Amino acid sequence: GKRNGRFQFLLAQDVARNSGTADRMSIRNRLSHAINNGLIEPYLQPIFDTQTNRVVGMEALARIPDVEGLPKVGPDVFIPVAEDLGIIEELSEVIVTGAVEFQKHLASVGFDLRLSVNLSRRVLYSDRLIDSFHALLEKTGADPKQICLEITETLAMLDIKNASERLHELKKLGFKIAIDDFGTGYSTLGQLYEIPVDELKIDKLFVRRIHTHEGQRIAEAIVSMARALHLEIVAEGVEDLETVNLLRNMGVRYLQGYLFSSPLNREQFEAQLRGGFNAAV
C-alpha cells in the first residue's frame, strides 16, 4: 500500500545518493561542465493524437553529452544528483527555456505543438517558482495554455497539501498540469480530486503489461478514474502496434513512446516533424 510506495521512493533516493563517491563526483563534474558550457539540452519526444493521427505535442527530456569511455548517464541518474547538489533550478531553467524557445520556433514555421516539461521536487517547492515561470512567460511571450507542467504522482502525494497549493498558483498563471508516472504512487480518487490536474500520464510499467489480462484491467481502471475526473490521458512507453490498438480501444487519446520516436535533439525533431514522424502508425 501507501507505505510500501513511499519506502520504495526513499530507497530510490538513497541509491542515487550513495551510488559511490567516485560516480557522484564524475556525474557532478559532467553536470557542471555541461551546464557551464551550455551543453545541457532538451531532447524532445513527440506525443501522438489517436483521434487525428497527428503529432500534437512534445515532452522535453534533459540530456547531457556522452563522454567517451564513460557510461551513458540519463536524467533518472543526473536529476536526483542535480537536486542534491542544488543546481536543479539552473538545469531546469535551461531545459524549460530552451524547450519553450523551440516551441516558439516550431510555431513560426507552421507547427503548433503543446509542450510538456517535468518539474522536480526542489523546483516545485522553490521560493522562486512562481516568479521564474512568470518571467518565462514575459520573456518568451509563450501561451501557458500550450505548456503542461508534469509532476510525478509520488511527488504529488508525498505532501499533497503543499503540492496542491503550488499547483494552484501555477494554474493561476495559466499552465496545464499533468500527473506523471501515474499508477506508481497510490493516490486515491479523493486525493486526485483535491489537486488541480488536467492530465494523467499512465506509467510505462502498466503500458508494458497491457498485453496481459491483469495489465489490461489495471489500465482500464486508470482510464475510468481519469474519465470520472474529466482528465486527458497520455500513455507513455508505447512500443508496438498491438499496444496502440489496445489503448485506442480503451479510449486513450494520446500516446508517447519509441514506436513513434525516441527523444530527439531539436534539429532531429524538426526534421522528423517535417517528414511526418512514423506515418505508418
Q: Note the residues at the interface with ligand C2E (CB under 6 A).
A: 45, 61-62, 74-76, 79, 92, 95, 118-120, 150, 180-181, 204, 236-239, 257-258, 263
The phi, psi pair for 211, rounded to 5°, reads -70, -25
| Size of site (CB under 5 A) for Mg ion | 5
Residue 153 in the binding site for Mg ion (CB under 5 A): no
Sorted by sequence, the CB contacts under 8 Å of residue 260 that are 6+ apart come out as 45, 46, 48, 55, 238, 277, 278, 281
Closest to ligand C2E by CB, 232 or 239: 239
Closest to ligand C2E by CB, 58 or 223: 58
Residue 184 in the binding site for Mg ion (CB under 5 A): no
Residue 199 in the binding site for Mg ion (CB under 5 A): no
Closest to ligand C2E by CB, 65 or 228: 65
Asked whether the CA dihedral 94, 97, 103, 105 is positive or negative, the reply is negative
Closest to Mg ion by CB, 31 or 235: 235
Q: Which three cell numbers stand for residue 114?
A: 503543446
Quote the least distance from Cβ 120 to Mg ion, whole Å.
Answer: 11
In angstroms, the Cα distances linking 63 to 38, 42, 47, 118 are 12, 6, 19, 13
231 to 270: interface string for Mg ion, x by CB under 5 A: -----x----------------------------------
Taking CB within 5 to 8 Å according to partner kind, which of Mg ion, ligand C2E, none is near residue 239?
ligand C2E
Select from 41, 83, 153, 180 the one that contacts Mg ion (CB under 5 A). 180
- Per the CB < 8 A criterion, the answer to whether 251 and 224 are in contact is no
Sorted by sequence, the CB contacts under 8 Å of residue 252 that are 6+ apart come out as 50, 202, 219, 223, 233, 234, 235
- Per the CB < 8 A criterion, the answer to whether 62 and 91 are in contact is yes
Cell numbers 517535417: residue: 274
Residue ranges binding Mg ion (CB under 5 A) = 118, 150, 180-181, 236
